Structure 1
Amino acid sequence: MRVVMFGYQTWGHRTLKALLEAPEHEVALVVTHPPSDHAYERIWSDSVADLAADHGVPVLLRNRPDDPELLERLAQAQPDVIVATNWRTWIPPQVFELPRLGTLNVHDSLLPRYAGFSPLIWALLNGEKEVGVTAHMMDAELDAGDIVLQRAVPVGERDTTTDLFHKTLALFGPITVDGLALLATGRTDWTPQDRGQASFYHKRSELDSRIDWTWTAEELDRLVRAQSDPYPNAFTYYRGQRLRVIEASVSRGVYGGTPGRVFIPEDGGVVIVAGAQARYGTSRGLRIERVRLDDGTELPAAEVFRTMGGYLTQAP
């Protein structure tokens, strides 16, 4: 099968690698984005362009796939199918409808939920019990086409987004090759997405990592794990200094008071009062265990919070 691939970062790299290794497929052209300075695009940044070039596959760099030269090159490639993985902008109908078998998009969530950006982070924040990957037919609405295949993995009790990235990344190559095998049979009876269950998420930015101490300790624990290295860490301010929280957990004890209060040492960490209902004395706190300063220095929480009292805040 002749394949054109649209892909970017490590997800695209892994997908392209699987296509190159599959003897039944010929990759005729690769379209990828130029390198980006966006914080979430500098990580997991294995180069799709370099992998394609190493295998003699022509490469086009584009931010958007809608110029006349690109359309001409696509027509010349005569693909049976387009595969898209982690392409960051809308692909127009004149592109995704061009191949005789259409365009197979591979997205790192269990659609219809968590369409859009950073689905693993959002899923972990929301306490989902499983995450996964969906191969679906592309249509005019982003991440909304009929589902060809889905594969799921469980979210462990202490998993970070980094853990979930590695779990789901391993699915990308196999689900792509298996999805193309299903398309090759001529089937078209794919599963429509239930749009009543759909959710579409925006790109994350720096403010999305800022700790709001009115969240419950359980929610803040998930935020810290969701913003695990190499992602931008969850952060707060203490006495005018930014602290990036890199290790934390829910306290053993129940502590009442005002959210953000530096309260008490516990099990090698320091507990911060958390939750909008903390004043009732029924909430657990967030036990901070390790932080990182802006200069990169990492410290145990006990070395930062040497005396109890004072507050962690959302601004210096």
Structure 2
Amino acid sequence: MKIILCGYHWAGCHALELLLLQSSEIFVYTHEAPFHVPCLRDLCKQRGISYTTQTIDEKNLPFIPDIIVSVYYRFIISSKVLNACKRKAINLHPSLLPDYRGCSSLTWAIINNEKQVGFSYHYIDDGIDTGNILLQKALPIYDWDTQCSLYYRVMFEALVFLPDVIRQVQIGELGRVQPAGGRYYRRGCPYNGEIQTDWSPEQVQRFIRAMTYPPYPPAQYKGHSVLTYSDYLSIKGKEQL
């Protein structure tokens, strides 16, 4: 089986390790990674896997794949690329689609005080996270979860099911059509990373946890970094002096 992996971050690295057990030939599209992100490009070098950091395009496909697998890939895969693999392209999205399509799904779920989130494997179509669903699973959001802990829990669990989803595609499973509705969030930091002055204490605390993913910037309040709710109360107290 010939596979193209479009991936990034540690999830993309783990996906590659799993796919190497199933493919006769694999090629990877990935991104340049800062020092604090596990580098899929470097893993490809170590494993002797062909790769590129160019955006996937029908003109630079190394072969016609049996399946394209997208795990934390940051570019939209075009219709021409999808057609080249007879639309056998799947994506792992960290939400229970159709809700929380787009970006920062887990971050927004914490901010919005959801009690559960999850992941969805779905076929890639011409929309954004709108293709037929192959597999979904719900997971709880705990009161102590940060963006970091929730992301790791959801994605670790999701990747356990990657081989099963590959088999579904191989045998021709069509998946189920997504129901209408659901929220969509564009790329960009929620509220530009700023705690709003009219939020309740509970909203502030959720936002601080939702922004916690070191070394990315923490929540901000009036020009100050807010790592904990105590930080926020300290800044508020100084305002009143």
- Fold conserved (TM > 0.5)? yes
Identify the match of residue 193 of structure 1 among 178, 194, 198.
Answer: 178
1:23-43 C-alpha deviation (Å, 9 max, x unpaired): x333421111234xxxxxx58
Quote the residue 1:45 is aligned against: 37
Aligned: 1:143 with 2:143: no
| Inter-partner Cα distance in structure 2 for 1:101 and 1:309 | 59
Quote the residue 2:28 is aligned against: 30
Quote the residue 2:89 is aligned against: 103
Name the aligned partner's letter for residue 40 of structure 2. V
Identify the match of residue 131 of structure 1 among 106, 111, 117.
Answer: 117
TM-score (norm 2): 0.89
1:206-238 C-alpha deviation (Å, 9 max, x unpaired): 85211112012211111011011413211113x
C-alpha displacement of 1:307: 6.5
Q: Which has the higher strand share?
A: 1
Matches within 5 A, 1:258-273: none
C-alpha displacement of 1:143: 0.8
| Inter-partner Cα distance in structure 2 for 1:142 and 1:15 | 21
C-alpha displacement of 1:10: 2.2
Gaps of 5+ in 1: 36-41, 249-288, 292-300, 311-316
Shifted more, 125-134 versus 179-188: the winner is 179-188
Name the aligned partner's letter for residue 56 of structure 2. P
Q: Secondary structure at the match of 1:16?
A: helix
Quote the residue 2:219 is aligned against: 234
Q: Which runs of 4+ in 1 moved over 4 A?
A: 304-308
Query: Given the superposition, is the C-alpha separation of residues 9 and 19 from structure 1 closer, same or farther in structure 2, using an over 3 Å criterion?
Result: same
Aligned: 1:19 with 2:19: yes
Name the aligned partner's letter for residue 16 of structure 1. L
Quote the residue 1:176 is aligned against: 162
Q: Which has the higher contact order (CA 8 A, sep 6+)?
A: 2
1:80-119 C-alpha deviation (Å, 9 max, x unpaired): 1110111212211121232256101111111111111111
Query: Given the superposition, is the C-alpha separation of residues 57 and 115 from structure 1 closer, same or farther in structure 2, using an over 3 Å criterion?
Result: same
Q: Say whether the 8 Å CA contact 1:17–1:173 is kept in structure 2.
A: no
Aligned: 1:117 with 2:103: yes
Quote the residue 1:290 is aligned against: 231
Quote the residue 2:78 is aligned against: 92
C-alpha displacement of 1:305: 7.1
Q: Secondary structure at the match of 1:290?
A: helix
Q: Which has the higher helix share?
A: 2
Aligned: 1:57 with 2:49: yes
Quote the residue 2:7 is aligned against: 7
| Inter-partner Cα distance in structure 1 for 2:205 and 2:236 | 19
TM-score (norm 1): 0.70
Quote the residue 1:219 is aligned against: 203
| Inter-partner Cα distance in structure 1 for 2:35 and 2:48 | 26
Q: Say whether the 8 Å CA contact 2:88–2:169 is kept in structure 1.
A: no
Q: Secondary structure at the match of 1:120?
A: helix
How many residues align? The count is 240
Aligned: 1:247 with 2:228: yes
Name the aligned partner's letter for residue 66 of structure 1. D
1:157-213 C-alpha deviation (Å, 9 max, x unpaired): 22111110110121242222110111122222x1111132x2221222385211112
